[in-house]
Structure formats: C-alpha cells, structure tokens
A and B are shown apart, each in its own frame.
Chain A
Amino acid sequence: MTELGALLDDVVDDVDAVFLFSPSGSEYERFAEADVDVVVVAPDNDHDADQFVELPLEFTDVVGRVRFGLEGAHQQELVEDGDEIVCVTQVFAEEMDTVIRVRAREFAHTGVYDLFVNSRAEPSVIRDVFEVAIELGKKGQKGKPVGALFVVGDAGKVMNKSRPLSYNPFEKSHVHVGDPIVNVMLKEFSRLDGAFVISDSGKIVSAYRYLEPSAEGVDIPKGLGARHMAAGAITRDTNSVAIVLSESDGMVRAFKAGELILELDPEEY
C-alpha cells in the first residue's frame, strides 16, 4: 500500500490552499487546526469559517462544483493565480471521498460565480429561479416537456423593452419566486407563451411578455431556438439575467450580458 500512499502524497504535496466542499463538523474541525489555508465551499456557513464561498446550487457535476468554488474564491481574492489547490469533495457518498488537485486559473473564466453574486438580482432569487426551472424541467406539464423563459432583475427596463401578449395574470398579486405556491402556479402558467419577468427582489412582475430587444450581435451557439435567442438578446440590452428551460432538449441554460454562462441537465438534480 506504500505506492498508494506515495501517490496521494504526490497529489497533496506542496499545496497553497485546501477547498472543503460541504464538510461535516468533524471534517472541518480536523482541518481548522492545520497550517494550510482552508476554504469552505458550501450552501451555508455552518461552521463559521473565515474563508467561505457560498454554493447556490448542489452541483451534481464535480467539475462544475470545483469550478464554481475556484471562481468564487478567486473573486473574493482568497486565492491567487497559479496557486496549487486541493479540493476535497464528495462524489458517490455523503462523506468526503474524492481529492482533486487543480491550479487556480487552470479553467477559463466562465462567469458562473459572477452570474449568481454580481448580478442585479439577489443570489437567493437567482437560485430560486434555477430551482423552479429545474423542477419544471424534471416534471414537465402533464408529462410533456415544456419550455420556459425567466428574465430576472432590472425588471423596469425589461418591462419597457417588452409588450404584453395578453392580460398579466400576476397583476396586483405580490407573488415571490421563493414562495411555496410558486412551483404549482408556474407549472400551470408555463403553457402560456412568452416570458416571465422577475424583479431584483424576486417578485414575479409579469407573465405573457413578448420580449423586443434588438438581437443584433448576439452570439449564442447555433441550433438553439428563438427562446434562447430572445434570452440572450434581452440580457445584452438590459442588466438582467435570463434562465431558459429548453422545450426541445430539456436543458436549463443561463444567459448574462448576451452570453451563455451555465448549462444544467435537470435530470441530474
């Protein structure tokens, strides 16, 4: 077994920081005393760690999870370019079972962290919209796949750059995306055409909106439909974020500033 030990020693040799992904109390305690920088990446800061990156989604995909943690730490200046980092995370089990060594900046900057933290809308609102979209993608409308387009943040401008397709069912309603009733409601309304507009604080401002941004210069991958094109264009024209559930392939995609930032498969959640 000495070879295995030596292999592991090579992996963790000479690192600048350790990233713990959703550690349990005892796992965190063990590292808190160590003489290496510890960064906790988790949905909540349960252990009051000094260096903490909030994980808005339970990324099932390990690469996405590590990438989000790295970008978050980089934005908060917890790590520097070229730092050697060891990530300890879980893949199959509930406890730590995986050790990954990466160099900060090895990944191209994708803006996933930026999407959540530096958008106009609050991170929790964006997370809630993601959850609604993933839920909708999993269940669909009566078993059939549905598509949906949520435009989050900068609602005033978005409303000005769009027009109603029909009466707004959310007029004078004061429904927020975090409310428990919303999942059911949006499922019903998802058969309507048009976009949902959600404000910075999470209020659902309108459904049934036909977006009219100028689509000039929007560069999204070929093969995506009109819904994605509208999403890319509205985020280029305003400071909003768009989250799209594709009707054809069932993926959830997020756009910011006219670019595709994040792609998730609802089936994995």
Chain B
Amino acid sequence: MAQVDWPQIVRSVFSQETAFAVSVAILVVGVAVSYVVWRWVHSLLGRVGIPDSVEGTPFERTAQSFGTSTVGIIAQLAALFVYITMAIIALQLAQLLDVQFFWSRLTGYLPRLFIAALAIIVGLIGGDKAKLVVSDRLRSVKLPEAELIPELVKYSVFYIAALVALSQVGVATRALLILLAAYAFGLVLLSGLAFKDLLAAAAAGVYLLLSEPYSIGDEVQIGDHRGIVQEVDIFVTHVESDAEEYIIPNQRVLRNGIVRVRQ
C-alpha cells in the first residue's frame, strides 16, 4: 500500500525531529481539514434539501432530542473519518506506535466502517420515509389489514440497510442474503399471482384503447351482455342496457369477441 510506503520516504528524507514536527503539523492540518469537511458537508446537504425531506422521521426526532440533526450527524461522521485518517498518518510518521500492521489494517477498515454507519442512517430514514409515503397512498383504504403494508415496507428497507452495513463491516451475511432472496422471490411470485388478471386486462385494454374497435355510444354484444358502451378504460369496459350496467374485464372482451349491433 502506498500509504504505508510514504512515511518511510519522509523519515528517510528528514531527521527524526523533523518527522515528529511534520506529524504534529499534519495533526493540526487534520483538525483544520476536518472542520472544513464538516462545514462543507453541512452546507451541501442543506442545499440539496435533506433537512426538509427527513423532517418528521423518527430518526430526525431522536437526533433533535440529542441536540443535533441528521445533517449534523452525517457531517460529524465525515469530519471524524477525515480526522482519524489524518491522525493515523501522523502517528505512522512519528513512529510513536510500531505496530504498523495493525494500523494499516485499521486504515483499510475505516472507510468501510464509515460506509456502514452511513448505510444505517440512510436505511433508518429511508425506511421511515417509505412507510410515510406508502401509508399516505393507502390512506383512503380504511382497512386494518392495509396498515400492515407500510410496516412491511419499512422493515424491508431496514433489513436491506442492515445487510449492507454488516457486509461492509465484514460479517458473514450469506444466510441473511439467502433469506432476502427468498423474500424477494416470494414477493414477485405472489404479486404475479395476485395481479395476473389485472395484467391480462391491462394488456387487452391497451389494444382496445389504441385501436378502438368500438367506442362510447356504440351498441355492442360481448358474450351474453348486450348494451350501449358507456366507458372504456384500461381494465374494464362499461356496457349498459336498459336495466343493467355490465362491467366487463377487458380480457373477457377480447376472448369473447365483440359483436357490433347495427340497426
């Protein structure tokens, strides 16, 4: 690693005292740089509009109760990351600690730790945000069962965030990954089964809407239903006779064929 090499070069060029002075200087510069990073991340996230978008999520509220905010935590993490990196470089220069191997492992490990922390923060906020969005969409559905779906979405996002964080830290996540795959597969399979009819109706509906073999006001017979077409949308066709209004799924329209009645 280049990082391990260049302290050696500095030490061979300068004397022991100079190397120590340089490492102290690096420490000071590290403080300055990490402060600049903190300010920069803070203003960048603020400008992107992160504070508005995370407002009201439980994570933000917890952060607020500790006297900081999501943006503050992320900025501090970034600054801490920069500062620790600088400190390690300084320590290596000064040869205060001789356990080179340990430190080089740590420097390799540090970015991953940072990413893991970031993944957890993003996961916590994203999960809560996704829950809010989904429950907002389902607000018109006043069923107790429907409240399960936003929770499910939230914990799914948490699970994936935890998976990313754990794999970054280097914990064996294969079992969890297999669980995720099974979950995703189940989800796709079940929704495929559930939406089978809707998909078929929509495919037929696209054809009916584009080519308009019959239009509103025509008298038609579809199967045993005869009447005037009142409405064609992507899933169903409304056919109305004097007494009844038939709502026919579009795939049935195509399968049965259409008889246009002419007086």
What is the minimal beta-carbon distance from A246 to any residue of chain B, in angstroms?
27
Q: Name the B residues within 8 Å of A203 (CB-CB).
A: 216, 231
Q: CB < 8 Å: which of A158, A172, A201 contacts B217?
A: A158
| A159-B217, A205-B217 known; A154 vs B230 contact (CB < 8 Å) | yes
| A171-B215, A205-B216 known; A156 vs B228 contact (CB < 8 Å) | yes
CA distance A157 to B229 in the complex (A): 9
B60 within 8 A of A: no
Q: CB < 8 Å: which of B209, B212, B231 contacts A199?
A: B231
Chain B, range 227-263, C-beta contacts under 8 Å to A: 228-231, 233, 240
- Interface size classification for chain B: 10 to 19
What is the minimal beta-carbon distance from B93 to any residue of chain A, in angstroms?
60
A142 within 8 A of B: no
Tell whether, in the assembled complex, residue B209 and residue A155 are in contact, meaning their CB atoms are under 8 Å apart.
no
CA distance A50 to B150 in the complex (A): 24
What is the minimal beta-carbon distance from A241 to any residue of chain B, in angstroms?
15
Tell whether, in the assembled complex, residue A172 and residue B212 are in contact, meaning their CB atoms are under 8 Å apart.
yes
Chain B proximity mask over A150-171: 1 for CB below 8 Å, otherwise 0: 0000111111100000000001
Tell whether, in the assembled complex, residue B228 and residue A199 are in contact, meaning their CB atoms are under 8 Å apart.
no
| A155-B216, A156-B216 known; A201 vs B229 contact (CB < 8 Å) | no
Tell whether, in the assembled complex, residue B230 and residue A160 are in contact, meaning their CB atoms are under 8 Å apart.
no
Chain B proximity mask over A187-201: 1 for CB below 8 Å, otherwise 0: 000000000010111
Q: CB < 8 Å: which of B209, B228, B230 contacts A174?
A: B209
- Return the chain A residue nearest B228 by Cβ: A156
Q: CB < 8 Å: which of B210, B217, B219, B233 contacts A155?
A: B217
Tell whether, in the assembled complex, residue A159 and residue B231 are in contact, meaning their CB atoms are under 8 Å apart.
no
Q: Name the B residues within 8 Å of A154 (CB-CB).
A: 230
CA distance A197 to B229 in the complex (A): 14
Looking at B215, B216, B229, which has the most chain A CB atoms within 10 Å of its CB? Answer: B216
Q: Name the A residues within 8 Å of B209 (CB-CB).
A: 174
| A172-B212, A174-B209, A205-B217 known; A160 vs B228 contact (CB < 8 Å) | yes
- Return the chain B residue nearest A157 by Cβ: B228
A/B interface sample: 15 pairs, CB < 8 A: A155-B216, A155-B217, A155-B231, A156-B217, A156-B229, A157-B228, A157-B230, A159-B228, A160-B217, A171-B215, A174-B209, A200-B230, A201-B233, A203-B231, A205-B216
Which residues on B are within 8 Å of A, measured CB to CB? 209-210, 212, 215-217, 219, 228-231, 233, 240
**3 closest A-B pairs (Cβ-Cβ)?**
A159-B217, A156-B228, A156-B230
